[in-house]
Structure 1
Amino acid sequence: MEQHVPSRPGGPGRSLRVAVVLLVAVSGGVEAVSFLALDKVFAGVMTSNLALLGMAAGRSQAAGARAALLALGGFATGLLAVALLTRRCAAHADRWPGRVVLVLGADALLLAAGALAWGAAGGTPDPTTRDALQCGAALVMGSQSAAMVAAGRAAAPTTYLTGTLATFITRGVGTGRPGVWVPLRLAGLIAGAALSAGLLERARAWAALPPFLLTLAAVAAACVPLLRPGPPASDTR
């Protein structure tokens, strides 16, 4: 459930909330490249991809169905891999488990590889590379989603924000106690998408770089609570 109250002792601190905003911006950038420059499907919004798959099937568009299946398969692979890796992680209220931070670091490496491939192709990759980038982008979004689930109450959704928006309006604005972090997440999504979309128009070869840099910044922010003095944390129950 979304929380719309200020940070308190024992809850996620500012650095983790900033990390979540940065990861949402990553999602926006990845979605911009995926939808606008790859195969007109989303890397992290599987509800929409299921609808796109149905529309492609109804119109007998094999290419559209294939793109949706690539995204669905990549996302599911990322989810499954991270779910297995983090299944014994203990969720903490004030920090992310070490394995969650490691997963995000691995995501940064995958995004770096994707940005290099994209840049090497001048922003116009061949069909085989496009398929690999599409599947890889969805895999990273699935990985990120599973990592946030493993982080528990110290995190929040970063790849799908419809429920976040609905909860904010009904339980935040509706009760007269709106918080600032949900609007910042929504703004982060817009900003990340706008940045990569703008680069697609003006400097296409660099359009895949912002998600990588934003992920690095998110990892750095997530490490702040782990570096504070305190009792040793355990990733296992």
Structure 2
Amino acid sequence: MNRRVQFSLLLLAAASGCVDALAFTVLGTVFAGVMTGNLVLLGAAVGHAAGSGAGTGEGVAAPLYALGGYVVGAALVALVCRGAARRASWPGRVVACLAGQTVMLAGVAVVGGVLDGRPGGAWRTVLLVVAALAMGGQSAAMVAAGSGAAPTTYFTGTLTALVTGTADGSGRGTGRLWVAARLCAVVAGAACGVAVHAGAPSWGFVPPAVFTAAAVGCQKPAQRLRRAVTRLHKNPLHHTNNETH
């Protein structure tokens, strides 16, 4: 992967950590991107309700909203990016989907700011679902990018690969440093989001949108869009064939 892609991955990891930290601390004690955690929280809520004889609605709702948003976001991006060429640089459709994610997170930031950073009731649910949509889309975009990308919303496998590669000597070189940097980025992003929200709640949801916008900017989206339009204009039949195979 080239350096521009690596920086984009760092920024997306920071955005992911930021969104998840804000979702957990502000939007309902669930995650927007870490679905393993939400599945565990869902099971815990069901188990607690079964053991205590209480209703399951309140504890189950938030994990289900987050899971639903994530699944829909991932599915939509998978459909948009279907058939995109996978190479070292990200396909234009992947960059476009990440730009759409930026718009969604910017919307969350605006609504969160209007609500003074403390959404409640239906608004809290809406912001959680939109944040989960964005994270599902980000995860699917990285899958669509193929070998030119890496996970940026879930890091258990990343941490495992780093530890095992370091222990058995199979992981060497600058690649291992970039992996470690992504792990640091998700922690830094989470810290940034919570710190900004604690100090200035109205601005608390802004950092994820800024991180994601910067990641898209690293990919020179305007230049890539111009090239795609030029190729389509010069040879539309060839473009269509490429998109369908």
Please report the TM-score for the alignment, with normalisation by the length of structure 1.
Answer: 0.89
Supply the RMSD in Å over aligned alpha carbons.
2.1
- Equivalent in the alignment of 1:65: 60
> Which residue of 188, 191, 204 corresponds with 1:191?
188
Comparing 55-64 with 206-215, which one deviates more in the overlay?
55-64
Local SS of the residue matching 2:219: helix
Displacement of 1:200 in angstroms is: 2.1
Aligned-pair identity in percent equals 44
1:176-215 Cα shifts (integer Å, max 9, x gaps): 6252101110111011000011112111111100000111
- Equivalent in the alignment of 2:18: 29
Comparing 53-62 with 153-162, which one deviates more in the overlay?
53-62
Q: Which structure has the larger Rg?
A: 2
- Equivalent in the alignment of 1:220: 217
Q: What is the alpha-carbon distance in structure 2 between the residues aligned to residue 73 and residue 141 of structure 1?
A: 12
1:158 and 2:149 aligned: no
Amino acid at match of 1:220: G
Amino acid at match of 1:194: A
1:81 and 2:76 aligned: yes
Matches within 5 A, 1:34-183: 34-60=23-49, 61-93=56-88, 95-175=89-169, 177=172, 179-183=176-180
- Answer whether contact 1:56 1:62 (CA < 8 A) is retained: no
Q: What is the alpha-carbon distance in structure 1 between the residues aligned to residue 195 and residue 117 of structure 2?
A: 13
Amino acid at match of 2:126: A
Comparing 142-151 with 163-172, which one deviates more in the overlay?
163-172
Q: What is the alpha-carbon distance in structure 2 between the residues aligned to residue 226 and residue 156 of structure 1?
A: 21
Q: What is the alpha-carbon distance in structure 2 between the residues aligned to residue 185 and residue 222 of structure 1?
A: 18
Amino acid at match of 1:14: R
- Answer whether contact 1:104 1:215 (CA < 8 A) is retained: yes
Displacement of 1:124 in angstroms is: 1.4
Displacement of 1:226 in angstroms is: 4.3
Amino acid at match of 1:87: R
What number of residue pairs does the alignment pair up? 224
Please report the TM-score for the alignment, with normalisation by the length of structure 2.
Answer: 0.86
1:117-137 Cα shifts (integer Å, max 9, x gaps): 000000111311100001111
Considering fraction of residues, name the structure with more helix: 2
Q: What is the alpha-carbon distance in structure 2 between the residues aligned to residue 149 and residue 57 of structure 1?
A: 31
Q: What is the alpha-carbon distance in structure 2 between the residues aligned to residue 172 and residue 206 of structure 1?
A: 39
Displacement of 1:76 in angstroms is: 0.2
- Equivalent in the alignment of 2:235: none
Amino acid at match of 1:181: W
Q: Which runs of 5+ in 1 are unaligned?
A: 1-11
- Shift of the 173–19 alpha-carbon distance from structure 1 to 2, 3 Å rule, reads farther
Q: What is the alpha-carbon distance in structure 1 between the residues aligned to residue 65 and residue 183 of structure 2?
A: 27
Q: What is the alpha-carbon distance in structure 1 between the residues aligned to residue 224 and residue 165 of structure 2?
A: 31
1:204 and 2:188 aligned: no
- Answer whether contact 1:39 1:64 (CA < 8 A) is retained: no
